[in-house]
């Protein structure tokens, strides 16, 4: 499984680090071929190993020096979420994101509020990718199931309706011990925030490449340009406000 995923990610990174024409052209076919190999049966893994190891690898050459990244984080489960945000910050820093001026971090009360805040931030057109970061822990009632499902669907909706990559940085765990293993590198755990930071940079680069692709058919680039006219993404769109240099809300 790990090898398959690694192949898939390598194929994507190879495609995105080559020319724009390749990134969303025929080269992406080889990525989908690699994906099918990632569905091959895997050897059993213990939950401790799964927590401790990242199951995904990233290119060492992700260049985020011109990217603006938004992080929306909950106050629920504050300590764990802060650890995750620290992981995100370390990862984007490694990718040369200017964390002083190009990393926007905003709190919301709980995970249920994340999709709404993500939509506002995406519509502001001031960020290239968003990470929604929170922790849901199962309690005695059905709240966990309802919130978890709504948030998961809500975040995907914002991805597709705004064409802004919104990274799913929400842990859904049965207890605090499971959270601790996934939000910190301590005690054999792995901070998944680190992977979410790298994912945000990789997807923001992919979006930039799609945006710069022009010509007949247009693909994702044309779709994004259509959204800009409607006021999503500030650059030059009708109904768009003053262009902002800093990432943030309206």
**Longest Cα–Cα distance in the chain:** 55
The reply to whether 77 sits near ligand RBF by the rule CB under 6 A is yes
Strand ranges in the chain using DSSP code E only, listed in sequence order: 69-74, 103-108, 129-137, 166-173
The reply to whether 143 sits near ligand RBF by the rule CB under 6 A is yes
Residue 233: C-alpha distances to residues 31, 72, 188 (Å): 29, 18, 41
Packing angle between helix 192-211 and helix 176-183, nearest 10 degrees? Answer: 60
Active site residue 143: yes
Q: Of 109-117, 155-163, 210-218, 242-250, which segment contacts ligand RBF by CB under 6 A?
A: 109-117
- C-beta of 60 vs 140, nearer to ligand RBF: 140
- Exactly one of 134, 165, 193, 233 binds ligand RBF (CB under 6 A); that residue is 134
- Exactly one of 26, 41, 139, 217 binds ligand RBF (CB under 6 A); that residue is 139
Q: Of 31-39, 71-79, 90-98, 118-126, which segment contacts ligand RBF by CB under 6 A?
A: 71-79
The reply to whether 183 sits near ligand RBF by the rule CB under 6 A is no
- C-beta of 44 vs 139, nearer to ligand RBF: 139
Choose the catalytic residue: 80, 143, 190, 192: 143
The alpha carbon of 244 is separated from its chain's Cα centroid by a whole number of angstroms, namely 22
* Residue least distant from ligand RBF (Cβ): 110
For residues 42 and 63, what is the distance between their CA atoms, to the nearest angstrom? 32
Q: Determine contact, residues 76/133, Cβ cutoff 8 Å.
A: no
Q: Determine contact, residues 131/71, Cβ cutoff 8 Å.
A: yes
List of residues contacting ligand RBF (CB under 6 A):
74, 76-77, 109-113, 134-137, 139, 141, 143, 147
């Amino acid at each position: 499984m790990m090898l398959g995923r690694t192949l898939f990610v390598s194929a994507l990174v190879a495609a995105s680090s080559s020319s724009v024409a390749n990134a969303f052209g025929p080269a992406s076919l080889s990525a989908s071929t690699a994906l099918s190999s990632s569905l091959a049966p895997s050897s059993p893994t213990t939950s401790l190993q799964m927590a401790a190891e990242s199951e995904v690898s990233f290119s060492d050459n992700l260049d985020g020096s011109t990217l603006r990244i938004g992080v929306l984080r909950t106050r629920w489960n504050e300590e764990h979420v802060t650890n995750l945000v620290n992981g995100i910050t370390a990862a984007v820093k490694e990718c040369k994101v200017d964390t002083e001026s190009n990393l926007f971090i905003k709190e919301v009360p709980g995970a249920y509020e994340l999709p709404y805040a993500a939509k506002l931030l995406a519509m502001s057109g001031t960020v290239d990718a968003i990470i929604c970061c929170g922790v849901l822990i199962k309690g005695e009632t059905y709240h966990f199931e309802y919130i978890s499902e709504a948030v998961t669907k809500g975040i995907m909706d914002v991805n597709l309706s705004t064409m802004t990559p919104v990274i799913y940085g929400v842990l859904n765990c049965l207890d605090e011990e499971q959270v601790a293993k996934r939000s910190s590198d301590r005690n054999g755990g792995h901070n998944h925030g680190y992977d979410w930071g790298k994912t945000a940079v990789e997807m923001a680069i992919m979006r930039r490449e799609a945006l710069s692709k022009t010509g007949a058919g247009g693909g994702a680039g044309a779709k994004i340009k259509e959204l800009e006219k409607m006021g999503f993404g500030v650059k030059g769109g009708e109904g768009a406000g003053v262009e902002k240099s800093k990432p943030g809300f309206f």
